[in-house]
Amino acid sequence: MQKRRFLNTVLGLAAALVLGAGAAHAQQPVAGRDFAPISPAQPGDNPAKIEIVEFFSYGCPHCKEFHPLVSKWAAALPADVSFKRVPVSFGRAQWFNLSRLYYAAEAIGELGRLDDAAFVALHEKNVKLYDDATINQFAVQQGVDGRKFAEAYNSFGVKSKAQRGDQLAQAYKIQGVPAIAVDGRYLVLNEGLKSYEDLLARTDKLIARARAERKK
């Protein structure tokens, strides 16, 4: 009787281990479902860190919805992970100006005033932030120095960064926004997801995968 109980216990433990291993395997990100491999892989700004890139545009209503969630998530990332945002235009002149808005605000340290406000102006107040004059007027209305903003917005450096953002989007094969890339190797897919929280959870799994592969 005791021998039979022992065998039943061993078999039960073995079955549990097999089921546990199967569940763990099922949770691993799958190419074509959870992510698309980025080929060739793209270098990050800091090779020592797992770089997360969010491609977005102020002109995208989905990016507006995603912004508060991804901002909170990014603020809690571990020390070995970096996060950067890249505005893209997909060749639209109006969206290219929105990319310049972002980089100009960043250049003069005014993202805090203009970042959320740009989403609100476009999608809640129906302000057409597409031409230079309207964008500069918007910045002034938010309490930003209009001369400083205009100088940055029209600078060669800001225009170059906006162009570089579009080049990065092409290199990463971005077809829509918001989009997230992990470690220059994985483009997070939204197949089968029901919420932006699910998208970030999938991103977390790909960060874990990238971290494990870096240790090999």
Are both 23 and 39 inside the same structural domain? no
Q: Give the span between the Cα atoms of 119 and 113, in whole angstroms.
A: 12
| 21/38 same-domain check | no
77 lies in the same domain as 141: yes
The whole-angstrom separation of Cα 178 and Cα 61 is 9
Q: Give me the pLDDT at residue 135, please.
A: 98
How would you list the strands of the sheet with 50-56, edge to edge? Answer: 35-37, 186-188, 179-182, 50-56, 81-87
pLDDT score at 136:
98
- The 3-class SS string of 64-115 reads HHHHHHHHHHHHCCCCCEEEEEEECCCCCHHHHHHHHHHHHHHHCCCHHHHH
Are residues 22 and 68 part of one domain? Answer: no
Residues 153 and 51 in one domain: yes
What is the rounded CA–CA span in Å between residue 84 and residue 71? 10
Looking at the structure of the chain, the number of domains it has is 2
Tell me how crowded residue 107 is: count the other CB atoms within 10 A of its CB: 18
Pair 193, 151 in one domain: yes
Q: How many CB atoms lie within 10 A of CB 2?
A: 6
Instruction: Note whether 169 and 86 are within 8 A (CB).
Output: yes
60 and 7, same structural domain? no
Spatial distance between the Cα atoms of 213 and 203, rounded to a whole number of angstroms: 15
CB 97 within 8 A of CB 59: no
**56 and 92 assigned to the same domain:** yes
Which pLDDT tens digits describe the chain residue by residue (216 residues)? 555 554 455 445 444 444 454 444 447 899 999 999 999 999 999 999 999 999 999 999 999 999 999 999 999 999 999 999 999 999 999 999 999 999 999 999 999 999 999 999 999 999 999 999 999 999 999 999 999 999 999 999 999 999 999 999 999 999 999 999 999 999 999 988 999 999 999 999 999 999 999 988
User: Is the domain of 60 the same as that of 118?
Assistant: yes
Cβ partners under 8 Å of residue 70, min gap 6: 54, 178, 180, 196, 200
What pLDDT score was predicted for residue 28? 87
Domain CATH code at residue 190: 3.40.30.10
Q: Which residues form the domain of 173?
A: 31-214
Are residue 98 and residue 128 in the same domain, yes or no? yes
67 shares its domain with 143 = yes
Indicate the SS3 state at residue 141: helix
The answer to whether the beta carbons of residues 162 and 100 sit under 8 Å apart is yes
Same structural domain, 87 and 6: no
- The SS3 of residue 145 is coil
Residues 6+ apart with CB under 8 A from 99: 57, 87, 88, 89, 161, 162, 165, 166
pLDDT of the residue at 162? 98
- CA dist., res. 129 & res. 127, Å (int): 6
Q: Which two tokens stand for residue 144?
A: 């930003």
